Amino acid sequence: MTILIEKHSGYRRITLNRPERLNALNIEMADALTAALDAAEADKSCRALLLTGAGRGFCAGQDLNEIVDLPAREIAALIDHYHPLIRRLHASPLPIVGAVNGVAAGAGANLALACDIVLAARSASFVQAFARIGLVPDCGGTWLLPRLVGGARARALALLAEPLPADTAAAWGLIWQAVDDERLMPAAEALAARLATGPTFALGLAKSALAAAATNDLDDQLDLERDLQAKAAAHPDHAEAVRAFLGKRPASFAGRQS
Ligand code: T3D
């Protein structure tokens, strides 16, 4: 099994599971991840996802054993399995927590960065390893990096392919937080559990608004916010939260039930 799926209350934990190769990516794993997303989104009781890796690495990117003798056109065709997954992660209506437990390299780094909130163990690092093997950053790296850390840092990360320690990744805004290694999974699970009791519908709309902001101008974005706000306001979670606030009690969000 290239991935493991555990159902928790309100969320699913997906673990990349090829630890002997630092969870290096292959077609089977990418397709399994896409299927896991399909299944999670179809299950209305699932309101958040947590993505992590088994063993000491998060994901070492493309499994190099599997491309060593491939013709160039077949190497390029791998993208047809990886990029749909990246699109799905960015577009998912579910909040996705990435728990980067060790090195995240190449496509593995950009897989981690496709999660909505990324926590990393302090011992973890992010490597845009592509240049080391004469490839171009893919899986959204060239799109995401300049937006997250600016052009100067994005260029150095892509061209030098040096490991970026988790603390620096957090300081640069590439990820949300670096935490002590032993705190990673408790912190990531607490975050996923918290998101799983949140206003899931509104969280999904917020994700889509932030994604659209990458290409919209301010006028378009304000129009989009107006339209999405109308949808959020019509959802029972909004009325419940306002009543809860006024009643000085915690809100109980229905999430995806309507
Ligand atoms: O068209 C397309 O879409 C192509 C797709 C390209 C997308 C990409 O991801 S390109 C980038 C591919 N990834 C890499 O180039 C990274 C290769 N790995 C490394 O540079 C290092 O392993 C790491 C920096 C990630 C970690 O180093 P370290 O010293 O902590 O671990 P290690 O000893 O190198 O690796 C441990 C084992 O995992 C080792 O196996 P062994 O010797 O114990 O049997 C190593 O061979 C294996 N491993 C690590 N990365 C990969 C891998 N096996 C296959 N593919 C890997 N990518």
What does the pLDDT average to over 238-250?
A: 97
Q: Which atom of ligand 1 is nearest to the CA of 77?
A: 1
**Residue 246 scores a pLDDT above 90:** yes
Q: Which atom of ligand 1 is nearest to the CA of 56?
A: 30
Delimiting residues of CATH 3.90.226.10 domain(s) in the chain: 3-196
Helix/strand/coil (H/E/C) assignment for every residue in 60-81 = CCECHHHCCCCCHHHHHHCHHH
Delimiting residues of CATH 1.10.12.10 domain(s) in the chain: 200-257
The response to whether residue 88 sits with its C-beta less than 6 Å from ligand 1 reads no
| pLDDT for the residue 84 | 95
Strand order in the sheet with 3-7: 3-7, 11-16, 48-53, 96-100, 117-121, 177-179
**Residue 247 scores a pLDDT above 80:** yes
Q: Which atom of ligand 1 is nearest to the CA of 61?
A: 9
Strand order in the sheet with 125-127: 57-59, 103-105, 125-127, 164-165
Nearest to residue 163, comparing CAs of 106, 114, 115, 111? 106
Q: Give residue 256's pLDDT band: very low, low, confident or very high (50, 70, 90).
A: confident
What are the tens digits of pLDDT across the range 188-228?
A: 999 999 999 999 999 999 999 999 999 999 999 999 999 99
| pLDDT for the residue 257 | 58
200-257, which class in CATH? mainly alpha
CATH T-level topology, domain 3-196: 2-enoyl-CoA Hydratase; Chain A, domain 1 (3.90.226)
Q: Ligand 1 pocket check: which of 16, 17, 21, 22 to mutate, most ligand atoms within 8 Å of Cβ?
A: 22
**Residue 236 scores a pLDDT above 80:** yes
Regarding pTM above 0.75, the answer is yes
Q: DSSP state, 254?
A: -
Please state, as a whole number, how many other Cβ atoms lie within 10 Å of the Cβ of residue 110: 27
The response to whether residue 65 sits with its C-beta less than 6 Å from ligand 1 reads yes
| pLDDT for the residue 258 | 46
> Percent of the chain at pLDDT above 70?
99
**Residue 72 scores a pLDDT above 70:** yes
What are the tens digits of pLDDT across the range 81-131?
A: 999 999 999 999 999 999 999 999 999 999 999 999 999 999 999 999 999
